[in-house]
Chain A
Amino acid sequence: MSYLEYNTKFVPSGMRKLLYLHWPLIMLLTAVACAGFLMLYSVAGGSVDPWMEPQVKRFALGLVVMIGVAMVPIWFWRNMAFVAFGGSVALLLGVEFFGDVRMGAQRWIDLGFMRLQPSELTKITLVMFLAAYYEWLPLNKKSHPFWVLVPVIVILVPVALVLQQPDLGTALLLLMGGGAIMFLAGVHWAYFVTVVGAGVGTVVAVLQSRGTPWQLLQDYQYRRIDTFLDPSNDPLGAGYNITQAKIALGSGGWTGRGFMQGTQSRLNFLPEKHTDFIFTTLAEEFGFVGAITLLALYALIIIFCIASAMTNKDRFASLLTLGIAVTFFLFFAVNMAMVTGLAPVVGVPLPMVSYGGSAMLVLMAAFGLVQSAHVHRPR
């Protein structure tokens, strides 16, 4: 399919594209990132070192990347989808062999100036690939068993590789993100009912396999499940993270203890306070009001994406936008559910807020795709 299909007459060109960017979305992203800067400043004890300054630089770079991606016509990205996905799977294979081992997980490729996490990249390229797949697939074949099996395999390949690292959180995110696109593309309900049923079965199998020779997860992951089910069992060991996180969160109250006044984070009771658990510091220092405001900002980002997708007549563009929105949603929902004790601790950062380079850049590039879809939508 070529771009001729679009009515290019109405698509802005050159620098005029800048005017057609989804500016409210950019504002929202910046607001969320600023909340992140503020918290990184706070957890460092009132210092731009060592986290806030690099994070600001990365966000600035991210903005440039986003606008750069947005300026390129969406059909170019559609044509690139297969290459991008293939590339990120190749990188995932790369970490298997050349990756750096840190904290028991093999997740990075060291590029010198930054550490690339191919699993982050895969979250977006998988969405691109599936969106392109359903664009190509004639509508009447979408629920045919063979054409359902193809994307399932495409999803399972990176999932298996990520599980190998082992990174349960990302694997689940990939699975749910991929499944969401299939659902959005209109695959028949019955498949999802079956899969959810099978999923429940798998969970049972995973729990039953514990302690047997064919144990499916790492011991530390089982301990995390235990901790999730009852953190009070082991308050100083496995349950420490979540117990301290909940104390921090709860003690924030309505309006919080005030900026830089959170005792939990001040006194270093909080683990990984600048990465996965940064939300607890925010909730401790700015209270319920602050936490709900951040949640509302996230919700607005999702709403804007859905609105943009629903007004976009191009199948690839709208599936891509929705897929990225779902991925973004999964990030913050899993993270927040994790620190509030609604989900097990699986190690998912809070998007745009947690300290971390590759997650931030990949997300900004993803929103670049959303912008590109928005700018180049058929009018």
Chain B
Amino acid sequence: MKRPPKDIIASSRIIGRRALVVGGVQAGIMGAIGWRLRDMQVEQADQYRMLAEENRISMRLLPPARGMIFDRNGIAIAANEQNYRVVMVREDAGDIGEVLARLTEIIDIPPEVLTRAMEEMRRRAPFVPVTILERVSWDDVAQINLNTPVLPGIQAEVGLSRYYPMGEDMAHVVGYVGPVSDYDLSQIEDPDPLLQIPKFEYGKTGAENRLEEELRGSAGNRRIEISAAGRIMRELDRQEGVPGKDVQLTIDSHLQAYVQARLEGESASGIVIDLENGDLRAVVSAPSFDPNMFVRGISVADWRALNENIYRPMAAKAVQGTYPPGSTFKMVTVMAAMEAGIITANDTVYCPGHADVSNIRFHCWRRGGHGNMNMHEAMKQSCDVYFYDIAQRVGIDKMAEMARRLGLGQRYDLPLSAVASGLAPDREWKSTVRGENWRVGDTVNASIGQGYVLTSPLQLAVMTARLATGMEITPRLVRLIDGVEQPSGIGPSLGLNENTLRRVRASMDAVCNEDRGTAYGSRIVAEGRKMAGKTGTSQVRRITMEERAAGVTSNEDLPWERRDHALFVCYAPVENPRYAVSVVVEHGGGGSAVAAPIARDIILQAQYGGPPPLEAYPANLRDQIAEQQRRIAARIPAGMRSQSRA
């Protein structure tokens, strides 16, 4: 189809006409915009410029002081320390390189810190103060102030930062703070604007992390006037924030320091519970680390050293570690059997040194056998065959139930990181989690705290506390928050048969205080301070029944990480229990040789509120103990050496 020429002309004429109309409208609109611009930028310019000036008043957040953490005696565990930092404003400095070169002549600045500061200054607007160095000594501050004329743009500022006076003694309890990270922020639903402040101190682990909300406080603010260049000219007004709440823990820092020192050289943990209120007097994991390193920013070398240490200094083993409880579990087995009425204390089992269960031979630790054993003797001498026998009769489900009643296999809500829940296995657990049927051999293993049973040192201490009191004690770590008393850890009675409890306690007394008891060597002889307890030695290697049947290889022949764990749980005084203690020494060897002496020293220290008199020890040990006390006293910092308060 060819358009007739007439049509083309008509079309062009229409389009031309309409284009002029559209162009006219456009010109009108552009004229209106131009007029509006003239109106705003010429006529009302002064007015708008005034508004722009007003914009220069800005709000800044004032970080509140973080709540302090104290021990039960009011000694500071986590405090705030004033420190000085060197700050630089690029705009005022002129030649940054030149000024920084002069600064490095005056104070020591590591080159990597310098490059980081330079980078940050490039990134930020020229008027933003950039921190070059933190925690500068007063001498350096004085030097900088003296040299102000040649250091344009450099200022020394005062700020607060966290300090842990106890150092490594409290590291696993109190944790540490560090600059808030993007990851931290992503974990919080509606982050406090405070957390947006660069390098704001945020609880990373331990109580610092779990009590973050209480400790943080709320922000204050100040209105400041900013100059055209963005520099702060003056403060218009200021509203202080609300400081964080102070927290008092139940920890006794003297005892804590003693336990830390006593455990030195081992990969171990120790717990002391006060039976009057469930207070945790000491929660110690060894070795430890200095939390102050993390607040300052840990060096790569230190970080690597901590991570590569096979003793795992970063792990809070006392609450996070789980171990097969070994013979310390025998109280559970015997309580389950006696509560169920399956045995009485006088029933005997013959121990030939081994027991055959479904064609597998399970050995007693004493290959020659114990002969006829009643409950008292079996506990005292830790005869394994006795427990193999009664466990088969009572069954795993009743044992697991008793374990839970005594505080095992459950997670305590303490304000600490990664509190372990352990495991009190039963038939249902094995079928749902492992998809296998429970076998009699599993029960036999569990009867002496091997196989699937896992407990943390904290749980073992709770178990001992519950056995000693018959009450449902739960551990308590926080005593006061902002002066408000936290609920006590003493619960109702466990409802266990009083007679049974008495029998079991008597057998634990015998472990420590009767000849042939497995912890007789670690007995306390001071009247009214004696302890009752139970040793435990648990195998770490995955014990197959075949291996157990073949007998146990001597510990000394094994590399460290495959040696047995040494455990000991105890309470004291025997007559009127006040403290319960658990000690676990990873790969330490035997419970009676390694863990029991440590636990004895700890529980004595707790009872005397300081170094016990040598008369509390059997005569043959006194020289050795005196030497040990001197060694530990030298290790504990002067401020932490307490005099006897008993």
- Chain A contact residues, CB within 8 Å of chain B: 1, 5, 45, 138-139, 180, 183-186, 244, 246-254, 263-264, 266-267, 269, 283, 287-288, 291-292, 295, 298-299, 302-303, 306, 309-310, 313, 315, 318-319, 322, 326, 329, 333, 336-337, 340-342
User: What are the residues of chain A within 8 A of B38 when measuring CB–CB?
Assistant: 288
B49 touches A251 (CB 8 A): yes
Q: At the interface with chain A, which of B8-16, B272-280, B386-394, B429-437?
A: B8-16
A326 to B15, CA, bound (A): 14
Which of B7, B38, B49 lies at the interface centre, i.e. has the most chain A CB atoms within 10 A of its CB?
A: B49
Q: A342 is contacted by which of B23, B36, B228 (Cβ under 8 Å)?
A: B36
B10 — which chain A residues lie within 8 A by C-beta? 139
B230 within 8 A of A: yes
- Other-chain residue from A291, A306, A315 in contact with B11 (beta carbon distance below 8 A): A315
- A248 to B22 CA separation, bound complex (whole angstroms): 32
Q: Which residues of A have CB within 8 Å of B12?
A: 313, 315, 318
Query: Cβ of B40: which chain A residues have Cβ within 8 Å of it?
Result: 246, 249-250, 340
Residues of A within 8 A of B30 (CB): 295, 298-299, 333
The yes or no answer to B345 lying at the interface (CB within 8 A) is: no
| Contact for A306 among B23, B41, B52, B226, CB less than 8 A | B23
Interface pair A250/B26, CB less than 8 Å apart: no
Within 8 A of A (CB), among B33-86: 33-34, 36-38, 40-42, 44-45, 47-49, 51-52, 55-56
Which residue of chain A lies nearest to B38 when distances are taken between CB atoms in the complex?
A288
Contact with A along B543-578 (1 / 0, CB 8 A): 000000000000000000000000000000000000
Give min CB distance, A239 to chain B, whole Å. 13
Tell me the smallest distance from the CB of A266 to a CB of chain B, in Å.
7
| B542 interface residue per 8 A CB criterion | no
Within the complex, the shortest CB–CB distance from A312 to chain B, in Å, comes to: 8
How long is the Cα–Cα vector from A138 to B38 in the complex, in angstroms? 47
B48 lies within 8 A of A249 (CB) = yes
Other than the known A295-B34, A341-B36, what 19 A-B pairs have Cβ atoms closer than 8 Å? A183-B21, A185-B14, A186-B15, A246-B40, A247-B52, A250-B40, A250-B45, A253-B41, A254-B45, A266-B230, A269-B55, A303-B23, A306-B19, A306-B23, A310-B19, A318-B12, A322-B15, A322-B19, A329-B29
Q: How far is the CB of B15 from chain A (nearest CB, A)?
A: 5
Whether A267 touches B42, Cβ cut-off 8 Å, given contacts A246-B48, A247-B51, A295-B34, is no
Question: A287 — nearest CB in chain B belongs to which residue?
Answer: B41
Within 346-398 of B, Cβ neighbours of A (below 8 Å) are at: none
Nearest A residue to B230, CB-CB: A267
List the B side residues contacting A336 at CB < 8 Å.
33
The residue among B40, B44, B226 with the most chain A CB atoms within 10 A of its own CB is B40
CA distance A333 to B334 in the complex (A): 90
Q: Are A184 and B37 in contact (CB under 8 A)?
A: no
Q: How far is the CB of B50 from chain A (nearest CB, A)?
A: 8
Chain A residues with CB under 8 A of B146: none
* A151, chain B: closest CB distance, angstroms: 15
Task: State whether A322 and B22 are in contact (beta carbons under 8 Å apart), knowing that A250-B40, A263-B55, A342-B32 are contacts in the complex.
Answer: yes
B15 to A319, Cβ gap below 8 A? yes
Q: Is the CB of B51 within 8 A of A342?
A: no
In whole Å, how far is B39's beta carbon from the nearest beta carbon of chain A? 9
Q: Which residues of chain B are near A250, meaning CB under 8 Å?
A: 40-41, 44-45, 47-49, 51-52
**B37 contacts A340, CB within 8 Å?**
yes
Chain B proximity of A184: nearest CB distance (Å) = 5
**Docked complex Cα distance between A68 and B410 (Å):** 74
With a cutoff of 8 Å between Cβ atoms, the chain B residues found around residue A45 in the complex are 125
**A247 pairs with B48, CB closer than 8 A:** yes
Q: Is the CB of A340 within 8 A of B33?
A: yes
Answer whether A253 and B45 are a contact pair too, CB < 8 Å, given A310-B15, A315-B8, A319-B15.
yes
Q: Is B301 an interface residue (CB 8 A)?
A: no
**Is there an interface contact between B15 and A318, defined as CB atoms closer than 8 Å?**
yes
In the assembly, what is the distance between CA of A185 and CA of B44, in Å? 42
Assess whether B645 is interfacial by the CB under 8 Å rule: no
Bound complex: CA of A298 vs CA of B29, how far in Å? Answer: 13
Contact A267 B15 (CB under 8 A): no
Could you tell me if A267 and B41 are in contact, using CB atoms closer than 8 angstroms? no
Interface digits, B113-137 against A, CB 8 Å rule (1 contact, 0 not)? 0000000000001000000000000
B484 at the interface (CB under 8 A from A): no
Complex formed: what's the CA distance from A301 to B105 in Å?
61
In the complex, chain A residues whose CB is within 8 Å of the CB of B42: 253-254, 288
Contact B11 A139 (CB under 8 A): yes
Q: Which residues of B are found within 8 Å of A252, using beta-carbon distances?
A: 41, 45
Minimal beta-carbon separation of B452 from chain A (angstroms): 49
Bound-state CA distance A319–B22 (Å) is: 12
B41 touches A291 (CB 8 A): yes
Q: Is B630 an interface residue (CB 8 A)?
A: no
CB <8 Å contact, B52 and A251: yes
User: For the complex, is B188 an interface residue (Cβ under 8 Å from A)?
Assistant: no
Please tell me if B1 contacts chain A, counting CB pairs below 8 Å: yes
Inside 8 A of A183's CB, which chain B residues have their CB?
A: 18, 21-22
Residues of A within 8 A of B304 (CB): none
Contact of A309 among B11, B15, B26, B29 (CB under 8 A): B15
CA A298 to CA B36, docked complex, whole Å: 17
- The 4 tightest CB contacts between A and B, nearest first, are A250-B48, A288-B41, A251-B52, A186-B14
**Closest B residue, CB atoms, query A183:** B18
CB pair A342 B33 closer than 8 Å: yes
**Given contacts A263-B55, A310-B15, are A251 and B45 in contact (CB under 8 A)?**
yes
* B541 within 8 Å of A (CB atoms): no
Q: A251-B48, A251-B49 are in contact. Are A263 and B228 (CB under 8 A)?
A: yes
**Sampled A-B contacts (28; CB under 8 Å):** A5-B3, A186-B11, A186-B14, A247-B55, A249-B40, A249-B48, A250-B40, A250-B41, A251-B48, A254-B41, A263-B52, A264-B52, A266-B230, A267-B56, A287-B41, A288-B37, A303-B23, A306-B19, A306-B23, A309-B15, A309-B19, A310-B16, A315-B3, A322-B22, A333-B30, A337-B32, A337-B36, A340-B36
B2 within 8 A of A: yes
Please measure, in the bound complex, the distance between the C-alpha atom of A1 and the C-alpha atom of B33, giving whole angstroms: 43
- In the complex the two chains form, what is the Cα distance from A183 to B42 in whole Å? 37
Q: Which residue of A is nearest B36, CB measured?
A: A340
Bound-state CA distance A45–B38 (Å) is 27
Report Cα–Cα, A253/B48, bound state, in Å: 9
**Which A residues lie within 8 Å of B37 (CB)?**
249, 283, 288, 291-292, 295, 340
Tell me how far the C-beta of A364 lies from the nearest C-beta in chain B, rounded to whole angstroms.
Answer: 21
B79-101 vs A, Cβ < 8 Å mask (1 yes, 0 no): 00000000000000000000000
Q: Which residues in A have their C-beta under 8 angstroms from that of B41?
A: 249-250, 252-254, 283, 287-288, 291
Contact A333 B29 (CB under 8 A): yes
Task: State in angstroms the CA–CA spacing of A244 and B10 once bound together.
Answer: 51
The chain B residue with its CB closest to the CB of A315 is: B11
Contact partners of A266 in chain B: CB under 8 A: 125, 230
- For B125, the chain A residues whose CB sits under 8 A away are 45, 266
Assess whether B15 is in contact with A333, with CB atoms less than 8 Å apart: no
Contact A184 B19 (CB under 8 A): yes
Distance, CA A310 to CA B30, complexed state (A): 21
Set of chain B residues within 8 Å of A309, measured between Cβ atoms: 15, 19
Nearest Cβ on chain A to B193's Cβ, whole angstroms: 15
Chain A's nearest CB lies how many Å from the CB of B11? Answer: 5
Which of A138, A298, A340 gathers most chain B CB within 10 Å? A340
Give the complex CA separation of A288 and B43 in angstroms.
11
Residues of B with C-beta under 8 A to A333: 26, 29-30, 33
A254 to B42: give the CA distance in the assembly, Å.
6
Contact of A185 among B15, B26, B34 (CB under 8 A): B15
Partner of B22, one of A180, A249, A253, A337: A180
Please report the C-alpha to C-alpha distance between residue A309 and residue B33 in the assembled complex, in whole angstroms.
25
Closest to B122 in A: A47
Known contacts A246-B48, A295-B33, A333-B29; A313 and B19 CB within 8 A of each other: no
Residues of A within 8 A of B48 (CB): 246-247, 249-251
Q: Which residue of the partner chain A has the closest CB to B15?
A: A318
User: Roughly how many angstroms separate A68 CA and B579 CA in the complex, as a whole number?
Assistant: 89
**For the complex, what is the distance from the CA of A363 to the CA of B3, rounded to whole Å?**
31
